Amino acid sequence: MPQIQLPIFPEGVTYITKELAFRKKDGQIIYFNGTMPVFMHEEGDLKTFRMITSQFVINGNVKQTELVKAFGLPAVTVKRYVKLYREKGPEGFYEKKVSRGAAVLTPEVLGKAQEMLNEGESIAEIGRKLELKANTLNKALRAGRLQEAVKKKDWKRVKKD
């Protein structure tokens, strides 16, 4: 007949479930199943924390609500990282962040756009010719990277005093 093993944990742990707990010690977070440590990472290593807690959920060791209670996390955060684990696995947590590509308004393009503005062309025309969105040019105008052309006064219409 199999013997029942009591869940005995080391001193100073915080319980996640009856079978799983964690402890902070000397800048490390150590996860325990009973007295046996199952995983360890640096206290400030957020990527690894997200990965291992998501793995616990995927493996059925923990429910998402138990992580929310144990660590005081927003439920949507736990769901987001569990989804990431399911889609990309552990390596998904360590991927480089996707950043924007090269700026469209290079100094060369800004120069051409400014020349066209000075010649009196509209934002829409400039956008079509330079293959840019009008919104991009408008943002550059608002940011001061482009200046609207100064409209010349029609001296024929100006009345003399």
DSSP secondary structure string, 124-135?
HHHHHHHT--HH
Same domain, 22 and 70: yes
At residue 160, the pLDDT reads 57
Is 6 contained in some domain?
A: no
Helix or strand holding residue 158 (H, E): none
In degrees rounded to 5, what are phi and psi of residue 155? -70, -20
CB contact at 8 A, 41 and 28: yes
Of 93, 123, 155, which residue sits at a domain end?
A: 93
Is 152 contained in some domain?
A: no
At residue 48, the pLDDT reads 97
Same domain, 51 and 116: no
Same domain, 18 and 85: yes
Is 150 contained in some domain?
A: no
Is 154 contained in some domain?
A: no
At residue 157, the pLDDT reads 58
Same domain, 47 and 113: no
At residue 67, the pLDDT reads 95
At residue 161, the pLDDT reads 52
* Domain hosting residue 118, numbered range: 107-143
Per-residue pLDDT of the chain (161 residues; tens, 9 = 90+): 565 666 677 788 999 999 999 999 999 999 999 889 999 999 999 999 999 999 999 999 999 999 999 999 999 999 999 999 999 999 999 998 876 656 888 889 999 999 999 999 999 999 999 999 998 899 888 888 888 876 665 556 555 55
At residue 99, the pLDDT reads 66
Give Dmax over CA atoms of the chain in angstroms.
115
Same domain, 77 and 137: no
Number of domains in the chain: 2
- How far is residue 33's CA from residue 39's CA, in Å, rounded to a whole number? 9
pTM assigned to the model? 0.59
Is 70 contained in some domain?
A: yes
Same domain, 88 and 134: no
At residue 20, the pLDDT reads 94
At residue 72, the pLDDT reads 94
Same domain, 81 and 27: yes
Same domain, 54 and 81: yes
Same domain, 51 and 121: no
